[in-house]
Amino acid sequence: MDEVSDDIIRFMDANKLTMATIGGHGYGAKVAAATAINNMDRFTGVIQYEGGPLEHKYYEAWQELEAYV
């Protein structure tokens, strides 16, 4: 998941996107949340469709993101 998240940030950098809202469905929803959690200064929101819980290592960061959003 971290590799996919890094790909998203590289895409944003290559296209000079400094802020975005990110979303996804299923596994993509988990990737969207993880990407936003690890790069909170780059995202204005997260849209999840059937994302389910994240891996445990993201739990504390998820609470922080939830409070922020």
Q: Under a CB-based contact definition with an 8 Å cutoff, are residues 46 and 68 in contact?
A: no
Angle at 11 between CA 8 and CA 1, to 5 degrees: 20
**How many domains does the chain divide into?**
1
Q: What is the C-alpha separation between 26 and 11, in angstroms, rounded?
A: 21
Burial class from Cβ neighbours inside 10 Å (0-12, 13-18, 19+) for residue 69 reads: exposed
Helices (H), the chain: 2-14, 27-38, 59-68
Parent domain of 57 = 2-68
The overall pTM is greater than 0.75: no
Residues of the chain with pLDDT under 50: none
Q: What is the pLDDT of residues 23-38, one digit of tens each?
A: 998 889 889 999 998 9
Tokens of residue 23, six digits: 């979303």
